[in-house]
Amino acid sequence: MILDATFWVTISFFIFLGILIYFKIPQKVKETLEQNISSIKNQIHEAEKLKEDAKNILIEHEKKISNSKKEVKEMIDKANEEAEKNVIKTNEEFHKLMENRKKNAEERIRQLKNQAEKDIKNASVKIALESVEKLIKNSLDKSKLDKIYISSIEETKLALKKKSS
């Protein structure tokens, strides 16, 4: 028999395969690979769960942000409405105050006007009476004085009636 190197390599290969099978190396490699595959699948499953949880949390936070934006908008709108109401109220109060002051000023002017008219009437009467007295004292003729006196009184009465009208 010719035993060459190929024969011995073949024999060595079969012996190596026998040892591998005897020590159950292919089964151990298969079990290790299955464990790694199972571990990877579990990690993928956990990652998908975490991804789903993160999506839910993101959606929840987006809803909270949206609700917060709505609340802020409502608060701003409410504040604007209150500010407008306050401006209108202040404006109305200002106009009422100015109207009251205007009425008071007009009343005061009317009172001053009436007082001035009374003062003028009194001064006119006083001047007329003084004029009449001077005429009476300076006059020599009693009949002339009576006529002048009566005409002066009539003129004064007419003048006072015209002014009061």
Q: For residue 79, give its domain range.
A: 33-164
Residue 2: in which H helix or E strand, if any? none
Residue 127 forms part of a structural domain = yes
Question: What per-residue confidence (pLDDT) applies to 34?
Answer: 96
118, part of any domain: yes
Please report the pLDDT score of residue 44 as a whole number: 96
Q: Establish how many alpha carbons lie within 13 A of residue 160's alpha carbon, considering only the half-sphere containing its beta carbon.
A: 17
Residue 7 lies in a domain: no
154 found inside a domain: yes
Local confidence pLDDT in tens for the 165 residues of the chain? 567 888 889 999 999 999 988 888 889 999 999 999 999 999 999 999 999 999 999 999 999 999 999 999 999 999 999 999 999 999 999 999 999 999 999 999 999 999 988 888 888 888 888 787 776 666 556 677 677 778 888 888 787 777 666
Residue 18 inside a domain? The answer is no
Structural domain tally of the chain? 1
